[in-house]
Structure 1
Amino acid sequence: MSLRFRLNLLITLLLLVFMSVVGFVIIRGMKASTQEGVEAATRVTVQLLDTVILSSYQNPEWGYTHEVMHRFLLSLGHVRSNEIILYDLHGNLLFKSPPSKYRADENPPRWFVKLIEPEQEVVMRRIRFGMLVVVSNPGGAIREAWSRLSNLFWINLGFFVVLNAMVYWMLGRWLRPVEPMLKAINQMEQGDLTVRLPEFKLPEFSKIAHNFNQMGESLLARTDESRRLALIVKQTADAIMIHDLDGNISFWNAAAQRMFGYAPEDIIGKSAAILIPPGYEAELESNFAAIKQMQKVENHDTQRVARDGKLRDISLTAAPLVDPHSGEVIGEICSMRDITERKQAEEAALRLEENRQLTQLIQHHIEDERRSLARELHDELGQYVTAIKTFAVGISNKTTEAMPDIAANAQTIVAAANHIYDGMHNIIRQLRPGSLDNLGLSETLRDAITNWQGQHPDVRFTLNLSGALDDLGETLNINLFRIVQESVTNALRHAQATQINIRLIKTTEGALQLSIQDNGVGMNICNVDQSKHFGLLGMRERVQALHGTFNVDSLMEQGTQIMVTIPARGAA
């Protein structure tokens, strides 16, 4: 049954009740009016007849009273709402009022007659030689009331039909917006949250449409948010699971299946202890105790065991699952991230750092050995070579005239001693420049450039130094010098360079910037395995040990540039 029909039926029932009440009131009024009219007519009739009786007594010459009354009644005829009967002394009927012709064609139903018919009133008068009886007869009044009621009924019936038709039509017009509302609700029920209602003229319907559209926007936003959350949970690389307060698993996403090898149907409903390796039981109990106390467990590095028995290094984060209505903890939301690669990277970084420290220690020992060896060469071998040269010069001076052959051999020994002395100094310079300990990095580099320029006069060297470079310390001095030494050696031996530019700057922030650039044949960096080129590898290790960066920029036939940056903490 439609709302339109129900409303129309309700209005019809209310109209029927109203018309029934009105009819009851009208009938009640008709009854009172009929009774009052009959009583009044009876009183008038009785007074009239009493007057005739009295006049007959006062005028005996008119004849006997019953005769006079008979003649009067014959001339009187029918009296409204009364029936007059005249009997003689022996009870014989002399006169009876003729029936009323007023609305004789009306035939009121019996129920109506019973409703408005008043109590019958009988008045009797004994007259000379007869009996006069006046009986109230409301038939005419009842027929008249029925006629009026019938006319009113048909008028009301017509009004009722017209009003119902108008109400039905107007309800259909007013309730026309309900159809798109029901259609929109049905579409939303089927999952179409984008459906919206138009604006309506009626303020109530307009408000309903506004609230419906707001509800649709809210549902759409929440659905989109839920869909995004579901996609995140489904597609995230982190294993996400939900435990109840008993520790049983109630949710298991795809990442958890990939990480641990259990399908959802294999693990949902089982205890979380299935993932706990031996020795970690106390950790699980501690986590659940924290969750029940509304505390979080964040980024806890631990281990879990997969279905194949292998241990997985994971980072665990857990938070309490709270009922939004009661505010009580009803479970735990747990996410686990596989940190196996991170652990391996940390171990590799640790081993690399240990290797670098070992390399640095080895280089330190090598530099110490080079320093000792250079000192030994300078102090021991240098003295012997000097002594040999001195003895040879003395022999040559004493035998120049007497024994010219011996003098010539002595001069040969002097020349050999000088050659040995120069070679020894070159070796000492390669092992450990003496100026590095005595004069600092700047003078050592200038001395090295002068030496290289002397050995390679066809190569142009430039040196650009800037900043406070004389208080860098032994470690920085020797490492920077070795980098410059290795770079220049490579450029001279392999690059066929004709120009080598060296630039060392200490910035105002305390960082060091070293650049060695040549115009040699260059190389294809992409095809060079720097891990197998010990010169590049050694320089890189030296820089990384000082927490700096090492870069090589080179192109074929366009030269090579080595760039080193050592931050302030490495230069300190």
Structure 2
Amino acid sequence: MSLRFRLNLLIALLLLVFMSAVGFVVIKGMRSTIQEGVESANRVSVQLLDTVILSAYQNPEWGFPHEVLQRFLYSLGHVRSSEITLADVHGNVLYQSPHSTYHSDQTPPEWFAEMLTPEKEVVERRIKFAILTITSNPGGAIREAWGRFKNLMWIGISFFVGLNIVVYWMLGRWLKPIQPMLVAINQMEKGDLSIRLPNFDLPEFSQIAHSFNQMGESLQASTEESYRLALIVKQTADAIMIHDLNGNISFWNPAAQRMFGYAPEDIIGKSASLLMPANTEAELAKDLATIAGKEKIEQYDTQRITREGALKDISLSAAPLIDPRTGAVIGEICSMRDITERKEAEAAAQELEANRQLTQLIQRHIEDERRSLARELHDELGQYVTAIKTFAVGISNKTETKMPDIAANAQTIVAAANHIYDGMHNIIRQLRPGSLDNLGLSETLRDSINIWQTQHPEIQYTIELNGELNGLGETVNINIYRIVQESVTNALRHAQATEIAISLNRTDDNTLVLAIKDNGVGMNICNVDQTQHFGLLGMRERAQALDGKFAVDSALEQGSVITVTIPVQPTQSI
């Protein structure tokens, strides 16, 4: 039963009650009116007949009183609201008043007649030889009242029907906004939180629509936020679980299943101690105590055990789950991140750092040995070669005229000594450039460029040095020099370059930037395994050993650029 029909039915019932009350009042008034009219008419009739009877006694010549009365009654005919009967002493009816024809076309129902019929009034008069009976009869008045009441009833029925039709139509018009409201509520019940109600003319419905739309927006925002959070929880790589204060698991996301191997139905409801390695149960109790005190647990590294019994290194974070109504802690939200790869990377990094330190130590020892060897060659072998040359020159001078053959052999020894001396100096320069210890890095690089230019005059060399490059320290100097030396050697051997440019800059933020560029054939870096090219690998190791960066930029037929960036300490500047 619709609201419209119910309201219309209620109004109809109220209207029926009102009309019934009005009908009761009207009928009550009619009853009083009829009673007063009948009593008045009956009283008049009795007075009239008493007068006739008295006149008959006073004028005996008219005949017997009952005869005079009989004649009068016949002449009188019907008397409204009264029935008159004249009978002799034996009960024979001498006169019976005719039935009333007043409103004879009306036939009131019995219930109406019963409601309006007043108490019957009977008056008898005994006269000589007869009995006169006068009885009240409201039939005519009742028929007249029924006619009026029937008209009133038809008017009331017409009013009732017309009013109900108008009310039903108006209710339909007024309650028309309810239909879109029901549709919107039904759509929202099905999950469509984007449904909105339009503005209505009635202020009450307009307020309902406004409140509904606000509720929809709030629910939509909350649902979208919850959906995003659910997606995050489901799709995150971190294992997320919820414990109660007894450590029993009540939530288990897919990442936790992947990480530990337990399906939700296998782990939910069980204790989180199932994931704890042996002899670490105290850690769980400590965490739960911290959470119970409304404190967070920030990331710390620990271990958990998988379903297969394997240990996993994890980073654990936890926060208390608080009931928003009471503010009490009801559980723990725990997030675990697999840091096995990070641990392995840290171990590899530590091992790599150890290897680099070992490499740096080896290179330092190699440089020390080279320095020592260069010094030995210069001091010992150089003296011997010089002595041989001196002796050969002396022999040549003494035998030049007398023994020209010996003098020629002596000159051959001198030439060989000179050749040995030049070769020795080249070896010493390769082992350890003397200018690096005596003149510094800048002059050593310029001197090396001059030597390379002499050895390869077909190649154009350029060098650019900027910033304070002295006082960088033995380690930095020798490594920068070796990188330049290796880069130029590679360019000479493989690049087929005609131009080689070297630049070394020290920036304001104490960073050394070394760049060696050539215009050779270049190479495809993507196809080059740098770990198999010991020249590139050695330069990279030298740069990384100094906490620097090494990069190679090259393309076919576009030359190559080697860039090294090394941080230096401000205290190293002079």
User: Cα distance, 1:430 vs. partner?
Assistant: 2.1
User: Cα distance, 1:46 vs. partner?
Assistant: 5.3
2:476 is the alignment partner of 1:476: yes
- The CA distance in 2 between the partners of 1:256 and 1:522, in whole Å, is 50
Q: Which moved more, 1:236-245 or 1:52-61?
A: 52-61
Within 5 Å, which residues of 2 pair with 1:66-465?
Answer: 74-83=74-83, 97-121=97-121, 135-168=135-168, 171=171, 175=175, 178-179=178-179, 181-193=181-193, 208=208, 211-212=211-212, 215-393=215-393, 410-465=410-465
- The CA distance in 1 between the partners of 2:16 and 2:489, in whole Å, is 119
- The CA distance in 1 between the partners of 2:569 and 2:28, in whole Å, is 115
CA contact (8 A) 2:510 2:570 kept: no
Q: Which moved more, 1:371-380 or 1:194-203?
A: 194-203
**Paired residue for 1:10?**
10
User: Cα distance, 1:18 vs. partner?
Assistant: 1.9
Does the residue aligned with 2:302 lie in a helix, a strand or coil? strand
2:555 is the alignment partner of 1:561: no
AA of the residue aligned to 1:338: D
2:517 is the alignment partner of 1:536: no
2:458 is the alignment partner of 1:485: no
- The CA distance in 2 between the partners of 1:180 and 1:457, in whole Å, is 94
CA contact (8 A) 1:472 1:571 kept: no
CA deviation string 1:198-230 (max 9, x = no partner): 666666556555555555555455444444443
Distance 1:502 1:164, change over 3 A: same
- The CA distance in 2 between the partners of 1:520 and 1:95, in whole Å, is 159
User: Cα distance, 1:328 vs. partner?
Assistant: 3.0
Q: Which moved more, 1:163-172 or 1:356-365?
A: 163-172
- The CA distance in 1 between the partners of 2:341 and 2:51, in whole Å, is 136
- The CA distance in 2 between the partners of 1:159 and 1:416, in whole Å, is 146
CA contact (8 A) 1:476 1:571 kept: no
Q: Which moved more, 1:268-277 or 1:60-69?
A: 60-69
- The CA distance in 2 between the partners of 1:281 and 1:505, in whole Å, is 59
User: Cα distance, 1:143 vs. partner?
Assistant: 2.6
TM-score, normalised by the number of residues in structure 2? 0.85
User: Cα distance, 1:541 vs. partner?
Assistant: 0.9
Distance 1:150 1:556, change over 3 A: closer
Does the residue aligned with 2:495 lie in a helix, a strand or coil? coil
**Paired residue for 1:467?**
467
Distance 1:150 1:352, change over 3 A: same
CA contact (8 A) 1:316 1:337 kept: yes
AA of the residue aligned to 1:439: L
Does the residue aligned with 1:494 lie in a helix, a strand or coil? helix
2:474 is the alignment partner of 1:495: no
Does the residue aligned with 1:147 lie in a helix, a strand or coil? helix
- The CA distance in 1 between the partners of 2:203 and 2:340, in whole Å, is 64
CA contact (8 A) 1:504 1:515 kept: yes
User: Cα distance, 1:445 vs. partner?
Assistant: 0.9
Distance 1:491 1:123, change over 3 A: same
- The CA distance in 2 between the partners of 1:359 and 1:527, in whole Å, is 27
- The CA distance in 1 between the partners of 2:397 and 2:506, in whole Å, is 55
AA of the residue aligned to 2:442: S
CA deviation string 1:35-93 (max 9, x = no partner): 33334434545565676678789989988877776665554444433445678899997
CA contact (8 A) 2:549 2:564 kept: yes
AA of the residue aligned to 1:344: E
CA deviation string 1:492-546 (max 9, x = no partner): 2333433322111222333222111223343333333221222211111111122
Distance 1:567 1:30, change over 3 A: farther
**Paired residue for 2:549?**
549
User: Cα distance, 1:386 vs. partner?
Assistant: 4.0
Q: Which moved more, 1:176-185 or 1:280-289?
A: 176-185
AA of the residue aligned to 1:505: N
CA contact (8 A) 2:472 2:568 kept: no
CA deviation string 1:300-338 (max 9, x = no partner): 322211111111222223233333433333333323222
Distance 1:472 1:58, change over 3 A: farther
- The CA distance in 1 between the partners of 2:505 and 2:386, in whole Å, is 41
AA of the residue aligned to 1:335: S
**Paired residue for 2:527?**
527
Q: Which moved more, 1:68-77 or 1:354-363?
A: 68-77
AA of the residue aligned to 1:317: S
- The CA distance in 2 between the partners of 1:141 and 1:497, in whole Å, is 141
- The CA distance in 1 between the partners of 2:383 and 2:112, in whole Å, is 161
User: Cα distance, 1:368 vs. partner?
Assistant: 2.3
- The CA distance in 1 between the partners of 2:140 and 2:64, in whole Å, is 33
- The CA distance in 1 between the partners of 2:403 and 2:344, in whole Å, is 79
2:34 is the alignment partner of 1:31: no
- The CA distance in 1 between the partners of 2:289 and 2:350, in whole Å, is 35
- The CA distance in 2 between the partners of 1:349 and 1:418, in whole Å, is 52
CA contact (8 A) 1:520 1:557 kept: yes
- The CA distance in 1 between the partners of 2:488 and 2:396, in whole Å, is 42
Distance 1:402 1:331, change over 3 A: same
CA contact (8 A) 1:511 1:571 kept: no
RMSD: 3.7
AA of the residue aligned to 1:483: I
CA contact (8 A) 2:530 2:536 kept: yes
AA of the residue aligned to 2:493: R
Does the residue aligned with 2:443 lie in a helix, a strand or coil? helix
Distance 1:63 1:567, change over 3 A: farther
User: Cα distance, 1:99 vs. partner?
Assistant: 3.8
Distance 1:65 1:280, change over 3 A: same
Q: Percent identity?
A: 73
Does the residue aligned with 1:277 lie in a helix, a strand or coil? coil
- The CA distance in 2 between the partners of 1:302 and 1:314, in whole Å, is 6
Distance 1:423 1:571, change over 3 A: farther
- The CA distance in 1 between the partners of 2:133 and 2:568, in whole Å, is 145
CA contact (8 A) 2:292 2:320 kept: yes
AA of the residue aligned to 1:329: V
Q: Return 5+ residue gaps in structure 1 as ranges.
A: none
CA contact (8 A) 1:78 1:99 kept: yes
AA of the residue aligned to 1:102: Y
- The CA distance in 2 between the partners of 1:500 and 1:322, in whole Å, is 70
User: Cα distance, 1:21 vs. partner?
Assistant: 1.3
- The CA distance in 2 between the partners of 1:515 and 1:183, in whole Å, is 74
Q: Return 5+ residue gaps in structure 2 as ranges.
A: none
Q: Which moved more, 1:225-234 or 1:139-148?
A: 225-234
TM-score, normalised by the number of residues in structure 1? 0.85
- The CA distance in 2 between the partners of 1:17 and 1:315, in whole Å, is 80
- The CA distance in 1 between the partners of 2:38 and 2:568, in whole Å, is 130
AA of the residue aligned to 1:257: Q
- The CA distance in 1 between the partners of 2:296 and 2:186, in whole Å, is 43
- The CA distance in 2 between the partners of 1:495 and 1:173, in whole Å, is 93
Q: Which moved more, 1:334-343 or 1:551-560?
A: 551-560
